[in-house]
Amino acid sequence: MGLIKLIQNRISSEWKNTFNQNVDIANREINRLDQRDTYTNNRIDNLVLSSDENTQNEVIDGRVDWRGVRFATLQARLTSSEELTAAERLEISREIESLRQETEQLNNTIQNLYGGSGGVESIYVSTNGSDSTGLGTEARPYRSIQTAVNSLPLLSTTHFIIYVEPGAYLEDVVINGLKSARFEIVSTNNASVDATTGTLSCFVRSIEFIDCDMYCRVRGIQSTDVVNGPDFFIRFSRVAYGAVENCRTTASTLDNTTYYTYLFNSCIGNIYTCWASNQRVVLRAEFAATARFSGDLVGNNNNTLCSARGSIIYRDTAAPITGTTTEHRSLGGQIFS
C-alpha cells in the first residue's frame, strides 16, 4: 500500500503529517478496492443468473440457457441462441413471404371472381388485334371474341360491351356463368348497317350464352361457316333474358336436320330487326322457354319459322318473312300469333 513508518518517538507536527499521509494512502487504496469490487460484482451479475437459497455455491451461470442446457462457455451459449434466433427469423420471413403470395393470389382470385364498379366497360376485338399482347382497348384490341370474354370477371355490376370490328371470326364463342349488369356483343359498325337490307361485314360462326343471370344481347353480326359450327347460330341457355338485333343469316342450313338458327333453352327472349333466309328453323324454343318472334323479321326461302317444344312463342304475323312451315309445335308447345 506504501504507508510511511514512524521512526521517531516524539509527537510533533512531523508525526502528524506522516500519519495523515498514511490515512490518505489507505483511503485511496480502499476506494480503489471498492471500485474493483463493484466492477467484479457487475461482471458476476452478468454471468450468474440465479443461486440456490440455501447453498450460495450452487449457481446458474450465463452458460445455461432458458431450457437448462449448459454450454461449455458463455460464448457457445450466445452463439447457439443467436443461430437459433436467426433460423427462426428466416423461417418467419419465409412464412410471411408465403402468406404474402397467398394473399396476392387470393386478391387476384377475388378480382377475377368479382370485378367492376358499375357503369359501362367496352372491350374491343379486331382481326388485326392480338390475344397475347392485346389489352382489349381500342388501341390494343384482342384478336378473338373468346379472349375478350375470358378477360371478364365472373361477377360484376358493370355493363360489358364487346365491340367487334368488321371481319371474319371463325370461332364458336361461349359465354358461360357470367353475371353482370348487362352483356352485349356488338359490331363496331352496327349503327351504320341494316341486316334487313344487305350483307353485314362482321361474321361469326356461333355464339352461345350458358347460365348467365343477366340481360344478353347480340347486334350487327352475320353467321358464317355453318358447316363447321355447332347446330345453331346464337343460343341462349338458362339466361335471364336473351335478345338478338340487326343480325343476318343467309348461309343455307336446309340440309342440316338438327340446325336451329336462334335457339332459346329454358329462358325468355326476343329476336327483332333481323334477316333470315335458307334456314331450316329460324326460331326454336325448348324446355319451357318463352320467346318472341317480332314483326320486323325479314327473309325468305326458310323451312320452318317457329318451333315450340314444350315452350311458348309469341309470333307477330306481320313479319315479312316466309317459310314452308310457319309454326311447329311438340310436347305441348304453344305458338300464339
pLDDT digits (tens, 9 = 90+) for 214-266: 999 999 999 999 999 999 999 999 999 999 999 999 999 999 999 999 999 99
Q: Is the pLDDT of residue 37 over 90?
A: no
Would you say domain 118-336 falls under CATH 2.160.20? yes
Cite the DSSP H helix spans in the chain: 13-47, 74-113, 145-150
pLDDT band per the 50, 70, 90 thresholds, residue 211: very high
4-17 pLDDT, tens digit per residue, is 555 555 666 766 67
CA-closest candidate to residue 303, choices 234, 252, 337, 236: 252
pTM: predicted TM-score of the whole model, two decimal places? 0.70
CA distance 190 to 330: 36
Phi, psi angles (nearest 5°) of residue 298 = -130, 150
3-state helix, strand, coil in the chain (%, to 5): 25, 35, 40
Averaged pLDDT score across all residues of the chain: 88
Please give the grid coordinates belonging to residue 29: 487504496
278-297 pLDDT, tens digit per residue, is 999 999 999 999 999 999 99
Instruction: Tell me what percent of the residues of the chain surpass a pLDDT of 70.
Output: 84
Residues 6+ apart with CB under 8 A from 29: 1
